[in-house]
Amino acid sequence: MNDRLFIFDTTLRDGEQVPGCQLNTVEKIQVAKQLEALGVDVIEAGFPISSPGDFNSVVEISKAVTWPTICALTRAVEKDIDVAAESLQYAKHKRIHTGIGTSDYHIKYKFNSNREEIIERAIAAVKYAKKYVEDVEFYAEDAGRTENEYLARVVEAVIKAGATVVNIPDTTGYCLPDEYGRKIKYLMEHVNGIEKAVISTHCHNDLGMATANTVNGVLNGARQVEVTVNGIGERAGNTSLEEIAMIFKCHKTLGITTNINTTKIYPISKMVSSLMNMPVQPNKAIVGRNAFAHSSGIHQDGVLKNVQTYEIINPTDVGIDDNSIVLTARSGHAALKYRLEALGIKLESEKLDQVYQDFLKLADKKKEINDDDILVLAGADRAANHHIKIDYLQVTSGVGVRPVASLGLNIAGEHFEAAASGNGPVDAAITALKKIINRQMTLKEFTIQAISKGSDDLGKVHMQVEYNGHEYYGFGANTDIIAASVEAYIDCINKFKDKVL
Protein backbone atom coordinates (compact mmCIF):
# COMPACT_ATOMS: atom_id res chain seq x y z
CA MET A 1 0.00 0.00 0.00
CA ASN A 2 1.24 3.47 -0.86
CA ASP A 3 1.61 6.15 1.78
CA ARG A 4 0.59 9.70 0.98
CA LEU A 5 3.27 12.35 1.44
CA PHE A 6 2.02 15.90 2.01
CA ILE A 7 3.85 18.64 0.14
CA PHE A 8 4.16 21.88 2.12
CA ASP A 9 5.49 24.62 -0.14
CA THR A 10 7.33 27.50 1.50
CA THR A 11 8.55 29.28 -1.65
CA LEU A 12 6.54 32.34 -0.65
CA ARG A 13 7.84 32.44 2.93
CA ASP A 14 11.25 30.78 3.45
CA GLY A 15 12.05 31.01 -0.27
CA GLU A 16 11.18 34.65 -0.41
CA GLN A 17 13.59 35.50 2.40
CA VAL A 18 16.39 35.60 -0.19
CA PRO A 19 17.69 39.19 -0.44
CA GLY A 20 16.62 40.88 -3.67
CA CYS A 21 14.00 38.22 -4.48
CA GLN A 22 10.98 39.80 -2.84
CA LEU A 23 7.72 39.56 -4.75
CA ASN A 24 4.78 41.91 -4.62
CA THR A 25 1.31 40.66 -3.74
CA VAL A 26 0.20 40.28 -7.37
CA GLU A 27 3.26 38.17 -8.16
CA LYS A 28 2.72 36.07 -5.05
CA ILE A 29 -0.86 35.36 -6.10
CA GLN A 30 0.42 34.27 -9.51
CA VAL A 31 2.84 31.83 -7.88
CA ALA A 32 0.22 30.62 -5.38
CA LYS A 33 -2.22 29.80 -8.20
CA GLN A 34 0.47 27.86 -10.03
CA LEU A 35 1.28 26.01 -6.80
CA GLU A 36 -2.38 25.09 -6.54
CA ALA A 37 -2.34 23.79 -10.12
CA LEU A 38 0.84 21.88 -9.33
CA GLY A 39 -1.03 20.13 -6.54
CA VAL A 40 0.77 21.14 -3.36
CA ASP A 41 -1.14 20.42 -0.14
CA VAL A 42 -0.07 23.44 1.88
CA ILE A 43 1.08 26.91 0.83
CA GLU A 44 3.03 28.82 3.46
CA ALA A 45 2.00 32.28 2.30
CA GLY A 46 4.01 34.49 4.64
CA PHE A 47 4.96 35.70 8.10
CA PRO A 48 2.12 38.22 8.65
CA ILE A 49 3.52 40.08 11.69
CA SER A 50 6.76 40.82 9.81
CA SER A 51 5.31 43.54 7.53
CA PRO A 52 2.01 44.95 6.21
CA GLY A 53 3.02 43.58 2.78
CA ASP A 54 3.33 40.06 4.13
CA PHE A 55 0.04 40.39 5.99
CA ASN A 56 -1.71 41.58 2.84
CA SER A 57 -0.20 38.77 0.75
CA VAL A 58 -1.58 36.13 3.12
CA VAL A 59 -5.02 37.81 2.94
CA GLU A 60 -5.02 37.96 -0.87
CA ILE A 61 -3.60 34.46 -1.39
CA SER A 62 -6.28 33.13 0.98
CA LYS A 63 -8.91 34.67 -1.27
CA ALA A 64 -7.32 33.52 -4.53
CA VAL A 65 -6.62 29.88 -3.72
CA THR A 66 -9.26 27.22 -3.09
CA TRP A 67 -8.15 23.82 -2.04
CA PRO A 68 -4.60 23.89 -0.57
CA THR A 69 -4.30 24.79 3.09
CA ILE A 70 -2.97 28.32 3.59
CA CYS A 71 -0.42 28.57 6.34
CA ALA A 72 0.91 31.63 8.19
CA LEU A 73 4.13 31.65 10.22
CA THR A 74 4.48 33.08 13.72
CA ARG A 75 6.89 33.09 16.63
CA ALA A 76 5.64 31.65 19.92
CA VAL A 77 4.24 35.09 20.71
CA GLU A 78 0.55 35.90 21.24
CA LYS A 79 0.58 39.08 19.13
CA ASP A 80 2.11 37.16 16.18
CA ILE A 81 -0.62 34.54 16.48
CA ASP A 82 -3.40 37.15 16.64
CA VAL A 83 -2.12 38.79 13.46
CA ALA A 84 -1.68 35.44 11.68
CA ALA A 85 -5.23 34.41 12.55
CA GLU A 86 -6.55 37.71 11.20
CA SER A 87 -4.58 37.33 7.96
CA LEU A 88 -6.10 33.87 7.44
CA GLN A 89 -9.70 35.01 7.79
CA TYR A 90 -10.57 34.27 4.12
CA ALA A 91 -8.72 30.97 3.82
CA LYS A 92 -10.93 27.97 3.09
CA HIS A 93 -8.45 25.71 4.90
CA LYS A 94 -6.12 27.43 7.34
CA ARG A 95 -3.13 26.59 9.47
CA ILE A 96 -1.04 28.55 11.95
CA HIS A 97 2.64 27.58 12.04
CA THR A 98 4.10 28.58 15.39
CA GLY A 99 7.29 27.58 17.14
CA ILE A 100 10.43 28.32 19.07
CA GLY A 101 14.14 27.41 19.04
CA THR A 102 14.90 24.20 20.94
CA SER A 103 18.65 23.70 20.54
CA ASP A 104 20.88 24.75 23.43
CA TYR A 105 22.33 27.46 21.16
CA HIS A 106 18.88 29.02 20.76
CA ILE A 107 17.76 28.45 24.34
CA LYS A 108 20.89 29.98 25.85
CA TYR A 109 21.92 32.70 23.38
CA LYS A 110 18.68 33.68 21.67
CA PHE A 111 16.26 33.41 24.57
CA ASN A 112 18.56 33.47 27.62
CA SER A 113 16.25 30.80 28.95
CA ASN A 114 16.25 27.15 29.98
CA ARG A 115 14.80 23.93 28.61
CA GLU A 116 11.78 23.76 30.94
CA GLU A 117 10.73 27.32 30.23
CA ILE A 118 10.97 26.70 26.47
CA ILE A 119 8.62 23.71 26.77
CA GLU A 120 6.15 25.90 28.68
CA ARG A 121 6.31 28.59 25.99
CA ALA A 122 5.84 25.99 23.24
CA ILE A 123 2.75 24.55 24.94
CA ALA A 124 1.31 28.02 25.54
CA ALA A 125 1.78 29.04 21.89
CA VAL A 126 0.08 25.91 20.54
CA LYS A 127 -2.84 26.30 22.96
CA TYR A 128 -3.19 29.97 22.04
CA ALA A 129 -3.18 29.21 18.29
CA LYS A 130 -5.76 26.46 18.87
CA LYS A 131 -8.23 29.15 19.99
CA TYR A 132 -8.25 30.38 16.39
CA VAL A 133 -7.72 27.31 14.19
CA GLU A 134 -7.96 23.56 14.46
CA ASP A 135 -4.86 22.94 12.32
CA VAL A 136 -1.76 24.07 14.25
CA GLU A 137 1.76 23.20 13.18
CA PHE A 138 4.60 23.56 15.66
CA TYR A 139 8.26 24.03 14.61
CA ALA A 140 11.18 23.21 16.88
CA GLU A 141 13.69 25.61 15.36
CA ASP A 142 17.20 24.18 15.03
CA ALA A 143 15.84 20.70 15.80
CA GLY A 144 18.75 19.40 13.72
CA ARG A 145 21.10 20.39 16.55
CA THR A 146 18.69 19.65 19.39
CA GLU A 147 19.45 16.63 21.56
CA ASN A 148 16.99 13.87 20.62
CA GLU A 149 15.80 13.13 24.17
CA TYR A 150 14.87 16.73 24.85
CA LEU A 151 13.37 17.13 21.38
CA ALA A 152 11.11 14.12 22.06
CA ARG A 153 9.87 15.82 25.25
CA VAL A 154 9.06 19.01 23.31
CA VAL A 155 7.27 17.10 20.55
CA GLU A 156 5.23 15.08 23.05
CA ALA A 157 4.21 18.24 24.92
CA VAL A 158 3.06 20.15 21.83
CA ILE A 159 1.08 17.18 20.48
CA LYS A 160 -0.64 16.95 23.87
CA ALA A 161 -1.40 20.67 23.60
CA GLY A 162 -3.11 20.07 20.25
CA ALA A 163 -0.46 20.38 17.49
CA THR A 164 -1.65 18.52 14.38
CA VAL A 165 1.73 18.71 12.59
CA VAL A 166 5.20 18.88 14.16
CA ASN A 167 8.02 20.29 12.07
CA ILE A 168 11.59 19.16 12.74
CA PRO A 169 13.73 21.77 10.95
CA ASP A 170 17.39 21.31 10.22
CA THR A 171 17.60 25.09 10.32
CA THR A 172 21.34 25.34 9.73
CA GLY A 173 21.60 22.46 7.22
CA TYR A 174 24.05 20.74 9.56
CA CYS A 175 22.71 17.16 9.81
CA LEU A 176 24.05 14.19 7.91
CA PRO A 177 21.34 12.20 6.10
CA ASP A 178 21.69 9.22 8.40
CA GLU A 179 21.68 11.44 11.50
CA TYR A 180 18.52 13.26 10.37
CA GLY A 181 16.80 9.96 9.51
CA ARG A 182 17.69 8.57 12.96
CA LYS A 183 16.29 11.70 14.60
CA ILE A 184 12.90 11.18 12.94
CA LYS A 185 13.00 7.46 13.80
CA TYR A 186 13.79 8.30 17.43
CA LEU A 187 10.76 10.57 17.62
CA MET A 188 8.51 8.00 15.96
CA GLU A 189 9.61 5.44 18.54
CA HIS A 190 9.82 7.52 21.70
CA VAL A 191 7.03 10.12 21.61
CA ASN A 192 3.76 9.09 23.25
CA GLY A 193 0.84 10.13 21.06
CA ILE A 194 3.01 10.55 17.91
CA GLU A 195 0.22 8.93 15.86
CA LYS A 196 -1.98 11.97 16.56
CA ALA A 197 0.28 14.29 14.51
CA VAL A 198 2.07 14.34 11.18
CA ILE A 199 5.86 14.73 11.43
CA SER A 200 7.30 17.20 8.94
CA THR A 201 10.81 17.69 7.52
CA HIS A 202 12.24 21.15 6.84
CA CYS A 203 15.82 20.89 5.63
CA HIS A 204 18.24 23.61 4.61
CA ASN A 205 20.95 23.03 2.06
CA ASP A 206 24.05 24.57 3.65
CA LEU A 207 26.06 21.40 3.13
CA GLY A 208 24.21 20.31 -0.01
CA MET A 209 22.28 17.60 1.87
CA ALA A 210 18.77 19.04 2.08
CA THR A 211 17.21 16.60 -0.39
CA ALA A 212 19.05 13.58 1.01
CA ASN A 213 18.04 14.56 4.56
CA THR A 214 14.41 15.03 3.53
CA VAL A 215 14.27 11.65 1.82
CA ASN A 216 15.76 10.00 4.89
CA GLY A 217 13.23 11.79 7.08
CA VAL A 218 10.41 10.37 4.96
CA LEU A 219 11.90 6.87 4.96
CA ASN A 220 11.87 7.02 8.74
CA GLY A 221 8.30 8.16 9.18
CA ALA A 222 7.85 11.83 8.27
CA ARG A 223 4.76 12.35 6.09
CA GLN A 224 5.04 16.04 5.28
CA VAL A 225 7.99 17.71 3.54
CA GLU A 226 8.65 21.46 3.50
CA VAL A 227 10.13 22.47 0.17
CA THR A 228 10.57 25.35 -2.27
CA VAL A 229 10.46 25.61 -6.05
CA ASN A 230 14.03 25.47 -7.47
CA GLY A 231 15.23 24.92 -3.88
CA ILE A 232 15.36 28.67 -3.31
CA GLY A 233 15.71 30.01 0.20
CA GLU A 234 18.02 31.77 2.60
CA ARG A 235 21.74 31.05 2.20
CA ALA A 236 22.09 27.81 0.23
CA GLY A 237 18.33 27.36 0.11
CA ASN A 238 15.75 24.76 1.11
CA THR A 239 14.94 21.28 -0.15
CA SER A 240 13.77 21.54 -3.74
CA LEU A 241 10.18 20.57 -4.45
CA GLU A 242 10.90 19.15 -7.89
CA GLU A 243 13.65 16.84 -6.63
CA ILE A 244 11.44 15.34 -3.91
CA ALA A 245 8.46 14.93 -6.25
CA MET A 246 10.57 13.18 -8.90
CA ILE A 247 12.51 10.99 -6.44
CA PHE A 248 9.31 9.41 -5.15
CA LYS A 249 7.84 9.21 -8.65
CA CYS A 250 10.94 7.47 -10.01
CA HIS A 251 11.43 5.15 -7.02
CA LYS A 252 7.96 3.64 -6.90
CA THR A 253 9.14 0.74 -4.72
CA LEU A 254 9.48 3.18 -1.82
CA GLY A 255 5.68 3.23 -1.76
CA ILE A 256 5.34 7.00 -1.31
CA THR A 257 2.95 9.07 -3.43
CA THR A 258 2.33 12.80 -3.67
CA ASN A 259 -0.42 14.86 -5.23
CA ILE A 260 2.03 16.69 -7.50
CA ASN A 261 1.15 16.97 -11.20
CA THR A 262 4.76 16.71 -12.32
CA THR A 263 4.05 18.10 -15.79
CA LYS A 264 3.60 21.50 -14.14
CA ILE A 265 7.10 21.45 -12.63
CA TYR A 266 9.04 23.10 -15.45
CA PRO A 267 6.55 25.95 -16.02
CA ILE A 268 6.49 26.89 -12.32
CA SER A 269 10.27 26.64 -12.12
CA LYS A 270 10.51 29.15 -14.99
CA MET A 271 7.91 31.41 -13.42
CA VAL A 272 9.60 31.51 -10.01
CA SER A 273 13.03 32.00 -11.55
CA SER A 274 11.89 34.89 -13.69
CA LEU A 275 9.67 36.63 -11.10
CA MET A 276 12.41 36.42 -8.49
CA ASN A 277 15.21 37.21 -10.97
CA MET A 278 16.91 34.12 -9.66
CA PRO A 279 18.49 32.08 -12.46
CA VAL A 280 18.44 28.30 -12.13
CA GLN A 281 21.92 26.82 -12.27
CA PRO A 282 22.30 25.03 -15.64
CA ASN A 283 23.10 21.65 -14.07
CA LYS A 284 20.33 21.82 -11.43
CA ALA A 285 18.58 18.44 -11.13
CA ILE A 286 15.21 18.22 -12.91
CA VAL A 287 14.86 21.87 -14.00
CA GLY A 288 18.36 23.00 -15.02
CA ARG A 289 18.91 23.94 -18.67
CA ASN A 290 21.25 20.95 -19.07
CA ALA A 291 19.24 18.46 -17.01
CA PHE A 292 18.19 16.54 -20.14
CA ALA A 293 20.87 17.72 -22.56
CA HIS A 294 23.29 15.07 -23.73
CA SER A 295 26.32 16.52 -25.45
CA SER A 296 28.72 13.59 -25.75
CA GLY A 297 28.48 11.68 -29.00
CA ILE A 298 28.20 8.34 -27.16
CA HIS A 299 25.30 9.55 -25.02
CA GLN A 300 23.51 11.10 -27.99
CA ASP A 301 23.81 7.91 -29.98
CA GLY A 302 22.43 5.89 -27.06
CA VAL A 303 19.56 8.26 -26.37
CA LEU A 304 18.54 8.29 -30.01
CA LYS A 305 18.45 4.48 -30.06
CA ASN A 306 16.57 4.18 -26.78
CA VAL A 307 16.10 7.07 -24.34
CA GLN A 308 16.34 4.76 -21.36
CA THR A 309 20.03 4.19 -22.04
CA TYR A 310 20.89 7.51 -20.41
CA GLU A 311 17.64 8.98 -19.12
CA ILE A 312 15.74 8.01 -15.98
CA ILE A 313 13.10 10.71 -16.41
CA ASN A 314 11.06 11.45 -19.49
CA PRO A 315 11.40 15.26 -19.93
CA THR A 316 7.70 15.47 -20.79
CA ASP A 317 6.93 14.13 -17.28
CA VAL A 318 8.25 17.38 -15.83
CA GLY A 319 6.69 19.58 -18.49
CA ILE A 320 9.61 19.93 -20.89
CA ASP A 321 8.34 19.58 -24.42
CA ASP A 322 11.26 17.92 -26.08
CA ASN A 323 14.57 16.35 -25.34
CA SER A 324 16.86 19.27 -26.07
CA ILE A 325 20.07 17.66 -27.16
CA VAL A 326 22.96 20.13 -27.21
CA LEU A 327 24.78 19.66 -30.47
CA THR A 328 28.54 19.98 -30.64
CA ALA A 329 31.25 19.27 -33.21
CA ARG A 330 31.11 15.61 -32.13
CA SER A 331 27.43 15.25 -33.01
CA GLY A 332 26.57 13.10 -35.97
CA HIS A 333 24.33 13.56 -38.97
CA ALA A 334 21.55 11.62 -37.21
CA ALA A 335 21.60 13.92 -34.19
CA LEU A 336 21.20 16.99 -36.41
CA LYS A 337 18.37 15.36 -38.36
CA TYR A 338 16.61 14.40 -35.13
CA ARG A 339 16.92 17.91 -33.71
CA LEU A 340 15.65 19.51 -36.91
CA GLU A 341 12.67 17.20 -36.93
CA ALA A 342 11.94 18.03 -33.29
CA LEU A 343 11.88 21.67 -34.43
CA GLY A 344 9.43 20.76 -37.14
CA ILE A 345 11.89 20.83 -40.06
CA LYS A 346 12.18 17.87 -42.39
CA LEU A 347 14.91 18.23 -45.01
CA GLU A 348 15.61 16.33 -48.20
CA SER A 349 18.80 14.32 -47.84
CA GLU A 350 20.77 16.61 -50.20
CA LYS A 351 19.79 19.72 -48.27
CA LEU A 352 20.47 17.93 -44.99
CA ASP A 353 24.02 17.06 -46.16
CA GLN A 354 24.63 20.68 -46.99
CA VAL A 355 23.24 21.90 -43.65
CA TYR A 356 25.38 19.31 -41.89
CA GLN A 357 28.54 20.66 -43.58
CA ASP A 358 27.61 24.22 -42.48
CA PHE A 359 26.83 22.88 -39.04
CA LEU A 360 30.31 21.33 -38.73
CA LYS A 361 31.94 24.60 -39.78
CA LEU A 362 29.93 26.53 -37.21
CA ALA A 363 30.51 23.90 -34.52
CA ASP A 364 34.25 24.35 -35.06
CA LYS A 365 33.87 27.97 -34.05
CA LYS A 366 31.14 27.64 -31.44
CA LYS A 367 31.24 25.09 -28.60
CA GLU A 368 27.54 24.37 -28.46
CA ILE A 369 24.95 24.75 -31.19
CA ASN A 370 21.48 25.54 -30.00
CA ASP A 371 18.06 25.53 -31.64
CA ASP A 372 18.30 29.08 -32.93
CA ASP A 373 21.61 28.36 -34.64
CA ILE A 374 20.14 25.28 -36.24
CA LEU A 375 17.10 27.16 -37.46
CA VAL A 376 19.31 29.80 -39.01
CA LEU A 377 21.53 27.14 -40.60
CA ALA A 378 18.60 25.26 -41.99
CA GLY A 379 17.42 28.47 -43.57
CA ALA A 380 14.06 28.13 -41.96
CA ASP A 381 12.27 31.28 -42.96
CA ARG A 382 11.25 32.53 -39.56
CA ALA A 383 9.22 35.35 -41.05
CA ALA A 384 7.36 33.24 -43.60
CA ASN A 385 4.06 33.11 -41.71
CA HIS A 386 4.44 36.33 -39.80
CA HIS A 387 1.59 38.79 -39.58
CA ILE A 388 4.08 41.69 -39.52
CA LYS A 389 7.14 41.71 -41.79
CA ILE A 390 9.86 44.23 -42.57
CA ASP A 391 9.54 45.76 -46.05
CA TYR A 392 12.64 47.89 -45.68
CA LEU A 393 14.85 49.42 -43.03
CA GLN A 394 17.37 52.18 -43.54
CA VAL A 395 19.51 53.55 -40.74
CA THR A 396 22.05 56.37 -40.81
CA SER A 397 24.46 56.57 -37.93
CA GLY A 398 28.02 57.55 -37.21
CA VAL A 399 30.23 59.70 -35.03
CA GLY A 400 28.93 63.25 -34.46
CA VAL A 401 25.46 62.63 -35.95
CA ARG A 402 22.22 61.61 -34.32
CA PRO A 403 21.13 58.24 -35.72
CA VAL A 404 18.00 58.24 -37.86
CA ALA A 405 15.96 55.25 -39.04
CA SER A 406 13.19 54.91 -41.56
CA LEU A 407 11.17 51.75 -41.53
CA GLY A 408 8.57 50.20 -43.81
CA LEU A 409 6.38 47.39 -42.50
CA ASN A 410 3.99 45.00 -44.12
CA ILE A 411 1.15 44.29 -41.73
CA ALA A 412 -1.24 41.69 -43.07
CA GLY A 413 -0.63 42.93 -46.62
CA GLU A 414 -0.87 46.67 -45.90
CA HIS A 415 2.18 48.95 -46.07
CA PHE A 416 3.10 51.35 -43.21
CA GLU A 417 6.06 53.72 -42.82
CA ALA A 418 7.68 55.77 -40.06
CA ALA A 419 10.94 57.55 -39.36
CA ALA A 420 12.57 58.39 -36.04
CA SER A 421 15.83 59.40 -34.46
CA GLY A 422 17.32 57.82 -31.35
CA ASN A 423 20.25 57.57 -28.97
CA GLY A 424 21.73 54.87 -31.11
CA PRO A 425 20.82 53.11 -34.37
CA VAL A 426 18.84 50.37 -32.60
CA ASP A 427 16.96 52.94 -30.52
CA ALA A 428 16.11 54.90 -33.68
CA ALA A 429 14.83 51.79 -35.47
CA ILE A 430 12.77 50.59 -32.48
CA THR A 431 11.31 54.07 -32.01
CA ALA A 432 10.19 54.06 -35.65
CA LEU A 433 8.69 50.61 -35.13
CA LYS A 434 6.80 51.80 -32.05
CA LYS A 435 5.40 54.75 -34.01
CA ILE A 436 3.77 52.31 -36.42
CA ILE A 437 2.64 49.76 -33.85
CA ASN A 438 1.47 52.34 -31.28
CA ARG A 439 1.04 50.05 -28.27
CA GLN A 440 2.15 50.42 -24.65
CA MET A 441 5.03 47.92 -24.70
CA THR A 442 8.19 47.84 -22.60
CA LEU A 443 11.49 46.28 -23.58
CA LYS A 444 12.57 44.17 -20.61
CA GLU A 445 15.57 42.36 -21.93
CA PHE A 446 17.78 42.74 -24.97
CA THR A 447 20.78 40.55 -25.70
CA ILE A 448 22.94 40.57 -28.79
CA GLN A 449 25.17 37.64 -29.57
CA ALA A 450 27.42 36.94 -32.51
CA ILE A 451 27.06 33.42 -33.86
CA SER A 452 30.77 33.26 -34.54
CA LYS A 453 33.58 35.71 -34.16
CA GLY A 454 33.84 36.91 -37.79
CA SER A 455 32.64 40.45 -38.56
CA ASP A 456 30.74 39.11 -41.61
CA ASP A 457 28.73 36.60 -39.64
CA LEU A 458 25.17 36.43 -38.32
CA GLY A 459 24.22 38.24 -35.15
CA LYS A 460 21.43 36.91 -32.94
CA VAL A 461 19.16 39.06 -30.86
CA HIS A 462 16.93 37.88 -28.03
CA MET A 463 14.31 40.22 -26.65
CA GLN A 464 11.74 40.16 -23.93
CA VAL A 465 8.88 42.63 -24.27
CA GLU A 466 6.16 43.25 -21.72
CA TYR A 467 2.74 44.04 -23.08
CA ASN A 468 -0.66 44.00 -21.42
CA GLY A 469 0.62 42.12 -18.35
CA HIS A 470 2.31 39.38 -20.37
CA GLU A 471 5.93 38.76 -21.29
CA TYR A 472 6.80 37.86 -24.86
CA TYR A 473 10.11 36.51 -26.10
CA GLY A 474 11.39 37.23 -29.58
CA PHE A 475 14.36 36.29 -31.68
CA GLY A 476 16.03 37.77 -34.73
CA ALA A 477 19.09 36.72 -36.72
CA ASN A 478 20.65 38.82 -39.43
CA THR A 479 24.08 39.89 -40.67
CA ASP A 480 22.88 43.41 -39.83
CA ILE A 481 22.54 43.65 -36.06
CA ILE A 482 20.03 46.54 -36.25
CA ALA A 483 17.81 44.55 -38.59
CA ALA A 484 18.16 41.55 -36.23
CA SER A 485 17.00 43.78 -33.34
CA VAL A 486 13.91 44.97 -35.23
CA GLU A 487 13.17 41.37 -36.29
CA ALA A 488 13.35 40.25 -32.64
CA TYR A 489 10.98 43.01 -31.56
CA ILE A 490 8.57 42.13 -34.35
CA ASP A 491 8.83 38.46 -33.36
CA CYS A 492 7.55 39.48 -29.90
CA ILE A 493 4.73 41.57 -31.37
CA ASN A 494 3.68 38.72 -33.65
CA LYS A 495 3.07 36.67 -30.52
CA PHE A 496 0.74 39.18 -28.84
CA LYS A 497 -2.56 37.61 -27.98
CA ASP A 498 -4.50 40.42 -29.66
CA LYS A 499 -3.60 41.01 -33.29
CA VAL A 500 -2.01 44.29 -34.33
CA LEU A 501 -4.30 45.97 -36.89
Q: Which residues sit at the interface with ligand KIV, rule CB under 6 A?
A: 14, 139, 141, 167, 169, 171, 202, 204
Bridge partners, 69 (sequence order): 42
For residues 436, 442, 444 and 448, what is the CA-based torsion angle, rounded to 10 degrees? Answer: 20
- 141 makes contact, choosing from Zn ion, ligand KIV, none, with CB < 5 to 8 Å by partner type, with ligand KIV
Least distance from C-beta 132 to Zn ion, angstroms?
23
Phi, psi of 323 (to 5 degrees): -85, 95
CA distance 194 to 61: 31
Task: Work out how close the CB of 61 gets to ligand KIV at its nearest, in angstroms, rounded to a whole number.
Answer: 18
What is the Cα–Cα distance from 483 to 461, expressed in whole angstroms?
Answer: 10
Interacting residues with Zn ion (CB under 5 A): 14
What string of DSSP letters covers 104-159? HHIIIIIT---HHHHHHHHHHHHHHHHTT-S-EEEEEETGGGS-HHHHHHHHHHHH
Work out the angle at residue 226's Cα, subtended by the Cα atoms of residues 222 and 229, and round it to the nearest 5 degrees: 140
> CB of residue 14 vs ligand KIV: minimum separation in angstroms?
5
Name the residue nearer to Zn ion (CB basis): 11 or 262: 11
Half-sphere exposure of residue 34: CA atoms within 13 angstroms, side-chain side: 22
- Closest to 496 measured CA to CA, from 428, 417, 439, 431: 439
Nearer to ligand KIV, 95 or 204 (CB): 204
Which of the choices Zn ion, ligand KIV, none does residue 431 contact, using the CB cut-off of 5 to 8 A by kind? none
* Partner in contact with 139, chosen from ligand KIV, Zn ion, none, beta carbon below 5 to 8 Å by kind: ligand KIV
Minimum CB distance to ligand KIV, residue 209 (Å): 14
Bridge partners (DSSP) listed for residue 167: 139, 200
Q: Which is nearer to ligand KIV, 171 or 262 (CB)?
A: 171
- CB closer to ligand KIV, 199 vs 376: 199
Closest residue to Zn ion: CB criterion: 14
Q: In terms of CB distance, is 141 or 373 closer to ligand KIV? A: 141
Report in angstroms how near the CB of residue 204 gets to Zn ion at its nearest: 6
The partner in contact with residue 496, picked from ligand KIV, Zn ion, none with C-beta cut-offs of 5 to 8 angstroms by kind, is: none
- Residue (206 or 371) nearer to ligand KIV, CB: 206
Beta bridge partners of 77: none
Q: In the complex with Zn ion, which residue's Cβ is closer, 47 or 467? A: 47
Residue 275 burial (CB count, 10 A): 16
Minimum distance between the CB of residue 252 and ligand KIV, rounded to whole angstroms? 30
Least Å from the CB of residue 414 to ligand KIV: 59
Q: What's the 3-state SS for 372-431?
A: HHHHHHCCCCCCCCCCEEEEEEEEECCCCCCCEEEEEEEECCEEEEEEEECCCHHHHHHH
**Residue 28 contact among ligand KIV, Zn ion, none, beta carbon within 5 to 8 Å by kind:** none
